Chain A
Amino acid sequence: MKDKLRIALVGNPNTGKSTIFNALTGLNQKVGNFPGVTVDKKIGFSKLADGTSLEIVDLPGTYSLYPKSADETIVFEVLSDRNNTSHPDLVLIVADATNLKRNLLLYTQIADLGLPVIIALNMMDLAAKGNMEIDIDGLAKRLNVPVVPIAARKSQGIEELKKAIQYQTHASFQNPTIDVEVIAPGLIRAISDELNLSNPYVALQIAHQYKNIRYLTKPQISKIEGLEKQYHFHSQKSQAAETIARYNFINDILLDTVKYNSVALEENISNKIDHYLTHKIWGFVIFILILFAIFQSIFAWSEYPMYLIETVFVWFAEMGHRFLPEGALTNLLIDGVLAGLSGVMVFIPQIALLFAFISVLEDTGYMSRVTFMMDRLMRKVGLNGKSVVPLIGGLACAVPSIMSTRTIENWKDRIITIMVTPLVSCSARLPIYTLLISLVVPKKYVLGFINLQGLALMSLYVMSIMAAILVAWVMKGIIRSKIKGYFIMELPVYRMPRWNNVGITMFESVKTFVTQAGKVIIAVSIVLWVLASYGPSNKFEKIEQKYDAPGLKSQYSKSEIDRLIASEKLENSYAGVLGKSIEPAIKPLGFDWKIGIALITSFAAREVFVGTMATLYSVDGDATKMESVREKMAGAKNSSTGLPIFTVASAFSLMMFYAFAMQCMSTMAVVYRETKNIKWPLIQFTYMLVLAYTASFIVYQLLK
């Protein structure tokens, strides 16, 4: 056995594939990309008892090697191309024991590719409860493949699985499943000769998929195209024949190895739950209540940890100012880097909670019920039941959500979903909302239990979703397409969420936020500090000279003069100049030049707003006395009128702007990658900016 073994994890969706992945690798995983495509590549590492190190690649869940979406193409590519950097030594197929028939379809396809395989038969505990008897040894013998019974949620069988991996040799011994050659006899041989393939099923799959396989060269593709015409190959007919043959094979085996005693208990329970959760009235009431509970909890539960993080940073800044030598470097460190860092860290509790809730909804199977309930409604506005998941996922972050639209088979539905997903309030807007709401909405309870701030926040979220739906409806009329969409989706039985997975999702999302968004935010914070601390030509000197005048010195105290100098310096800094230059455009929205600066800096990423505010307000004013950003903003006054800058009107106007404007470089980059046309991100940016400006204008003028 060699020292390093690469394993590909393959299976249907909802089979507990990710639970097994987590059980095998723990937190020892990383997310990368398959070269050239945007499919997330999850890799984990583990060690066997004999010291062999494992590299486990988690491939996207799929029902078949015939891809229904762009994501699934990667599975065949990785498994069939020996030169692929992820090509495995061994394939671990995860199959759901309670749903063996459909799960074995994928097994038979992969077995025929000729790679060494092991079957992890998951959910054995549920199969036993459902009065289903599976003859594991019989199954293993018939297929001539190691079959390891496991119950991943209960962590049963993981050690046995590792042993099976250890003892598996590098040759494949599985019995052939169907006679592949009879499906397209001449063509399979011709393609095999052309591409020098030894496996007939790889040749057949290539016959179906050659247009989308990236390791084929252009001449090869046109050669295959010619061969198909020559042999009168009909892809759908051939696929239908193959699927029927495979199911015949599977039925034959299951007849001898599985005994059903009665209908699965789990399914009965699921049916009862569904009676309420997808009910005409209760279904929607429950859905709204669940969303309501989620947002109330995010606000309530994150309050204390956020306060704690804030306090720690304030303490650090105080200590820094007290003990570090005064100078530009210290200021950069404390007012630039530390202030920016604090702006990132403080939102970890909220992001972790939101991702935790979303992962619970996915994990329990509730998300697919939402899809089921909403499909008709979504279709009316030009979306698709499957758009619900990206839209709800948009509550966390538009970037992964836009990537998840790849499950939508219909191009038009998918484009519209991509176009409106960034309208849904993502977690990056949450810091801005939280900050502004806490500034202008009193912390009161209505009817004894409804937190007024929570209510304001929820209204913003509801509004964002309604805006997304409305825009989708408009786009439905504009974008033309002839292709019919379809919707075939598994409704998995309800399961308890796997807390372990929820924990890992929380950890991973926070890690991504801190490393990805954090990098941008800290970089922008430093640039900002420089912009706010230095100004064009000799203006700064002139300010110093102006306040050096003896008349002023007698009029004001030393600290007052310092504050005046600082504020005038900021106004004349590069940042101030930039903010002021856009002030005329944003004045009708109730924004001053400082907000203008924040708008400019946060065009790269919304999260930067709070960091910008932190930097702007700690640079402005008494630098030795640290206050949290919120207090500083509450005290901020317009220098010409003396009125507070953050009023109900201007704060809500600002929230509208952040709600609608596309201020996220990452989203635009992803939209471009997913649509492969620069037109779409540009259209998106423009329509969102127009929407943002209009909404802010209306809100400010009404509330003023």
Chain B
Amino acid sequence: MKLSQLKKGAKGIIKEFTDLEMSVKLMEMGCLPGETIRVERIAPFGDPIAISVSGYQLSLRKREASTIELI
């Protein structure tokens, strides 16, 4: 399952990334394999989304979220 498919309020654990370039940027921001992610909010027009990760909130677009595979 991909992060972009997660509903508001749902949780998941990061398994891997499908895009190397994105993964470097996401990992720097604390999205690491094994971290638990929770979808906190979805923006009024359906994109981007806000997630909780590593103890803070991060917003990213659905296209970026779709490169994160969850366990």
CA distance A270 to B56 in the complex (A): 11
Contact of B59 with A486 in the complex, beta carbons under 8 Å: no
Chain B residues with CB below 8 A from A701, complex form: none
Q: How large is the interface on B (under 10, 10 to 19, 20 to 34, 35 or more residues)?
A: 20 to 34
Choose, from A60-68, A78-86, A335-343, A552-560, the stretch at the interface. Answer: A60-68
Does A487 contact B57, Cβ atoms closer than 8 Å?
no
A601 to B46, CA, bound (A): 48
- Interface majority SS (helix, strand, loop, mixed), chain A: helix
Out of A240, A267, A489, name the residue touching B59 (CB < 8 Å). Answer: A489
Our pick among A66, A267, A487 for the contact of B28 (Cβ within 8 Å) is A66
A490 touches B58 (CB 8 A): yes
The interface bits of chain B over 39-65 (1 if a CB of A lies within 8 angstroms of the residue's CB, else 0) are 011011111101010111111110110
Within 8 A of B (CB), among A88-107: 98-102, 105
Residues A491 and B50 in contact, CB atoms below 8 Å apart: yes
Q: Is A622 an interface residue (CB 8 A)?
A: no
For A99, A243, A270, the residue with the greatest tally of chain B CB atoms inside 10 Å of its CB is A243
| Docked complex Cα distance between A68 and B22 (Å) | 12
In the complex, the answer to whether B48 meets A385 with C-beta atoms within 8 Å is: yes
Q: Is the interface of B mostly helix, strand, loop or mixed?
A: mixed
The answer to whether A244 touches B29, judged by C-beta atoms less than 8 angstroms apart, is no
Question: B25 and A101: CB pair below 8 A?
Answer: no
- The yes or no answer to B27 lying at the interface (CB within 8 A) is yes
Q: Which residues of A contact B57 (CB under 8 A)?
A: 267, 270, 490-493
Q: Which residues of A177-197 are within 8 A (CB) of B?
A: none
CB neighbours of A99 from chain B (8 A)? 54-56
Chain A positions 570 through 602: 1 when the CB is less than 8 Å from some CB of chain B, otherwise 0: 000000000000000000000000000000000
- Interface residue? B13 (CB, 8 A): no
Interface size for chain A: under 10, 10 to 19, 20 to 34, or 35 or more residues? Answer: 35 or more
Instruction: Check: B24 CB closer than 8 A to any chain A CB.
Output: yes
Rounded to whole angstroms, the CA-CA distance of A267 and B50 in the bound complex is 13
Most buried by B among A270, A486, A493: A486
User: CA A493 – CA B55 in complex, angstroms?
Assistant: 11
Chain B, residue nearest A105 (CB): B28
Known contacts A240-B24, A247-B27; decide if A488 and B60 are in contact (CB<8 Å).
yes
Residue from B27, B43, B50, B56 within 8 A of A243 (CB atoms)? B27
Contact A487 B61 (CB under 8 A): yes
B-binding segment of A288-296, A373-381, A448-456: A373-381
Task: A239 to B63: give the CA distance in the assembly, Å.
Answer: 22
Docked Cα-Cα span, A375 to B50, in Å, equals 12
B40 proximity list for chain A (CB < 8 A) = 271, 274
Instruction: Determine the distance from Cα of A487 to Cα of B45 in the docked complex, in whole angstroms.
Output: 15
Q: Which residue of B lies closest to A68 (CB)?
A: B25
- State whether A278 touches B58 (Cβ < 8 A): no
Residues of A within 8 A of B6 (CB): none
Query: Do A244 and B21 touch across chains, with their CB atoms under 8 A apart?
Result: no
**Which residues of B, 11-30, contact A by the 8 Å Cβ criterion?**
20-30
User: Is A685 positioned at the interface, with any CB of B under 8 Å from its CB?
Assistant: no
In the complex, the answer to whether B45 meets A376 with C-beta atoms within 8 Å is yes
What's the nearest-Cβ distance from chain A to residue B13, in Å? 15
A232 within 8 A of B: no
With A240-B23, A247-B27 given, is the CB distance from A376 to B54 under 8 Å?
no
Q: Which A residues are CB-close (under 8 A) to B43?
A: 278, 372-373, 375-376
Query: Mind listing 11 A-B residue pairs with CB under 8 Å?
Result: A101-B55, A102-B29, A236-B20, A237-B20, A274-B40, A279-B44, A283-B44, A376-B46, A377-B45, A487-B60, A490-B58
The 9 closest A-B pairs by CB, nearest first: A376-B45, A491-B57, A102-B30, A280-B44, A243-B27, A99-B56, A64-B28, A376-B47, A372-B59
Q: Interface residues, chain A, CB within 8 Å of chain B?
A: 63-64, 66, 68, 98-102, 105, 236-237, 239-240, 243-244, 247, 264, 267, 270-271, 274, 278-280, 283-284, 368, 371-373, 375-377, 385, 486-493
Q: A240-B24, A488-B58, A491-B59 are in contact. List 11 more A-B contacts (CB 8 A).
A: A68-B25, A101-B55, A105-B30, A243-B27, A244-B32, A267-B52, A278-B50, A487-B59, A488-B25, A491-B57, A493-B56
